[in-house]
């Protein structure tokens, strides 16, 4: 995590905002700073934060995830949910703390845009010839 561009490198003080640590606090000055860190490094939380930031809309085509409570919600969710894509591919980072989960590296996509994106990436990564 030494290379993280988001955390402050101050040796004492909050690792997120570098302000002075209150007594009993060791890493972050407040839950807010702790949450900000986790939301940018832990996939489950980052994914949720990214969707919230993008207002549950696909960044590419603007499709919106169905709202809870709409008729046929559970069926709609299967075909119209939104997913979060890593702009720079995560490759197995989903299970660990990683700077690839920075919100700046995440975008919300609908299923079809996500699928198209994954296919394009696969093509791009295929060794040529």
- Cα–Cα–Cα angle for 11, 14, 17, rounded to 5 degrees: 115
Q: How far apart are CA 62 and CA 2, in angstroms?
A: 36
Q: Considering the rule CB under 5 A, would residue 16 count as an interface residue with Zn ion?
A: yes
Site for Zn ion in 68-97 (CB under 5 A): none
Closest CA to 83 of 37, 47, 31, 121: 47
For 56-108, the DSSP string reads TB-TTT--BPPPTTSTTHHHHHHHH-EEEEESS--TTGGGS--GGG-GGGEEE
Q: Considering the rule CB under 5 A, would residue 110 count as an interface residue with Zn ion?
A: yes
Q: Considering the rule CB under 5 A, would residue 29 count as an interface residue with Zn ion?
A: yes
Give the three-state DSSP class for 109.
strand
Q: Considering the rule CB under 5 A, would residue 99 count as an interface residue with Zn ion?
A: yes
- Contact region for Zn ion (CB under 5 A) — 27-35, 48-56, 71-79, 115-123? 27-35
Q: Considering the rule CB under 5 A, would residue 46 count as an interface residue with Zn ion?
A: no
Number of residues that bind Zn ion (CB under 5 A): 14
Which one among 17, 34, 45, 90 touches Zn ion, defined by CB under 5 A? 17
| Residue 85: other Cβ atoms inside 10 A | 22
Shortest distance, position 127 Cβ to Zn ion, whole Å? 29
Shortest distance, position 47 Cβ to Zn ion, whole Å? 15
Binding site for Zn ion (CB under 5 A): 4, 6, 14, 16-17, 29, 33, 58, 60-61, 63, 99, 110, 113
């Amino acid at each position: 995590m030494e290379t993280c561009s988001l955390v402050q490198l101050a040796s004492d003080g909050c690792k997120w905002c570098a302000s002075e640590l209150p007594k009993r606090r060791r890493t972050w000055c407040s839950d807010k700073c702790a949450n900000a860190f986790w939301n940018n490094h832990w996939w489950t939380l980052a994914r949720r934060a990214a969707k919230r930031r993008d207002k549950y809309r696909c960044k590419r085509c603007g499709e919106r995830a169905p709202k809870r409570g709409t008729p046929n919600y559970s069926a709609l969710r299967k075909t119209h949910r939104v997913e979060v894509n890593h702009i720079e591919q995560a490759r197995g980072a989903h299970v660990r703390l990683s700077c690839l989960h920075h919100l700046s590296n995440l975008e919300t996509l609908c299923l079809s845009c996500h699928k198209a994106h994954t296919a394009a990436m696969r093509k791009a990564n295929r060794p040529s010839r």
